[in-house]
Each structure stands twice: as structure tokens, then as C-alpha cells.
């Protein structure tokens, strides 16, 4: 069955562009598009989407707050936050609050579709800058709570950020792809996000802004 997607984006032109992208992608089905958070909160629970594309910088209610309210009403809903410019605090706050991913709005169409499919499959996607903030957070927390990333976990994260697949990482580090995924899940668990820990983490490396 096609992945059902709702879009929440204030910019009319960009929202129309996202809807057109979804309609033209095999296996994806846009079930709703909304220009503000209040409309989204009213209608999305009735649309039964699998994934929501959410503008992180909504004006009436913040994207993070809108996401939190939606997830309380629709358990299991996966939300991919979108931003025009990479903002490490907003992205990190989104992940901490339960978002399944954080991506730039100007990401290539193929990358956007891949991120949606990845999130729907139970994974998480984020930019490399957000991934670095995740690492820094775990390291900082470790000073007070005894948590820290192992050298192997840091190696795997750096390789993911350079674009290597789990299979390639396994070959480089003499471990299985499933072990690489397990190490990444361990990092996510240490972050102690509110959402259920994903099976796979994927970091999209983007140019610095």
C-alpha cells in the first residue's frame, strides 16, 4: 500500500511544490496539505497519514509544539520536520521532542523521497550538523550521569556522516551491518528521546549554512 502523507507548510508555493512531488512519486500518496498548525491539528487526525511533513517554523503554533500535540492524538505517527535553513537548536529540539527526522526544505527531490520512505520504515534521518549536536549532548550528559559514546560508536557516526552505508561500515570496521545499526541505536537510546528508538539512524551530510 502507498505511504499516506500529510503536509504542513506555511509557504503556499513550497506547499504546492511538496504536494506535486508526492503525487508524482510512486508508492507515496498525499492525503492532506495545510497552511498552519491549527488547521493541521484539526484535520490530520482524520486523514490517517503514516508520515507528516512539518514546517519547523510555523507562526501560529511552533512546529515542535504542533508535532507534540499530534503525536499525543495519533500514537505511532511519524513526523519529518522541514526547515529552510539548518538551525542546530531547532533540529535538536525536534529530535528530542520525538520527531523521526529533520531535513532541509531545499533537499533534492530524491533525497526527500528517500527520507520519507526511511522514516516510514522506522528509521530516523537528520543532517550532519544535528548529528554532531546529538554527539555533543551525549558527551556533555556523560560528565554528570556517566554516559559516553564509545570510540566505536563515534567511528560509526563519522562514517555515516560521510555517506557510507551500514554494509560498507561493516566491511571497513570488520563488523556486520546489523552490529553497526545496533551501535547507532545505542547512541539514540543514550540521547533518551521521547519517541520510540528507531531501528536505523541516517545522517544526511549537508553544506554548512
Sort 95 into a burial class: Cβ within 10 Å, 0-12 / 13-18 / 19+: buried
What is the pLDDT at residue 141?
60
Nine-digit cell string for 19: 504536494
Give the Cα-Cα-Cα angle 163, 164, 166 (nearest 5 degrees). Answer: 130
* All domains of the chain in start order, with CATH: 3-123 (3.40.50.2300), 130-204 (1.10.10)
Strand order in the sheet with 101-104: 28-34, 3-8, 51-55, 78-83, 101-104, 124-127, 201-204
What is the pLDDT at residue 135?
62
What is the pLDDT at residue 109?
93
**Alpha carbons 129 and 6: distance in angstroms, whole number:** 26
Nine-digit cell string for 52: 507528516
What is the pLDDT at residue 197?
33
Distinct helix (H) and strand (E) counts, the chain:
9, 7
**Alpha carbons 57 and 37: distance in angstroms, whole number:** 10
Nine-digit cell string for 175: 563488523
Task: Identify the CA nearest to 55 among candidates 22, 113, 14, 112.
Answer: 14
DSSP letters for 10-70: S-HHHHHHHHHHHHTSTTEEEEEEESSHHHHHHHHHHH--SEEEEETT-SSS-HHHHHHHH
Gyration radius from the chain CA atoms: 17
Sort 168 into a burial class: Cβ within 10 Å, 0-12 / 13-18 / 19+: middle
Residue 116 · residue 5 · CB < 8 Å? yes
Could you list the pLDDT tens digit for every one of the 209 residues in the chain? 899 999 999 999 999 999 999 999 999 999 999 999 999 999 999 999 999 999 999 999 999 999 999 999 998 899 999 988 776 577 778 877 888 888 888 889 998 998 898 888 776 676 667 666 666 666 566 555 555 667 887 777 667 656 566 677 788 888 887 777 777 667 666 655 443 333 334 444 443 33
Amino acid at each position: 500500500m502507498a505511504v499516506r502523507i500529510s503536509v504542513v507548510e506555511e509557504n503556499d508555493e513550497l506547499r504546492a511544490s511538496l504536494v506535486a512531488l508526492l503525487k508524482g512519486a510512486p508508492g507515496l500518496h498525499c492525503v492532506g496539505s495545510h497552511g498552519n498548525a491549527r488547521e493541521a491539528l484539526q484535520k490530520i487526525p482524520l486523514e490517517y497519514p503514516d508520515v507528516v511533513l512539518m514546517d519547523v517554523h510555523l507562526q501560529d503554533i511552533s512546529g515542535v509544539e504542533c508535532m507534540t500535540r499530534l503525536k499525543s492524538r495519533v500514537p505511532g505517527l511519524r513526523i519529518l520536520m522541514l526547515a529552510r535553513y539548518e538551525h542546530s537548536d531547532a533540529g535538536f529540539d525536534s529530535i528530542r521532542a520525538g520527531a523521526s527526522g529533520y531535513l532541509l526544505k531545499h533537499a533534492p527531490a530524491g533525497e526527500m523521497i528517500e527520507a520519507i520512505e526511511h522514516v516510514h520504515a522506522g528509521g530516523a534521518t537528520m543532517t550532519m550538523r544535528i548529528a554532531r549536536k546529538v554527539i555533543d549532548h551525549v558527551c556533555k550528559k556523560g560528565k554528570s550521569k556517566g554516559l559516553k559514546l564509545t570510540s566505536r560508536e563515534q567511528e560509526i557516526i563519522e562514517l555515516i556522516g560521510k555517506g557510507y552505508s551500514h554494509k560498507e561500515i561493516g566491511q571497513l570496521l570488520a563488523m556486520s551491518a546489523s552490529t553497526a545499526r545496533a551501535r547507532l541505536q545505542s547512541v539514540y537510546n543514550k540521547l533518551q528521546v521521547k519517541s520510540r528508538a528507531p531501528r536505523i539512524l541516517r545522517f544526511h551530510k549537508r553544506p554548512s549554512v
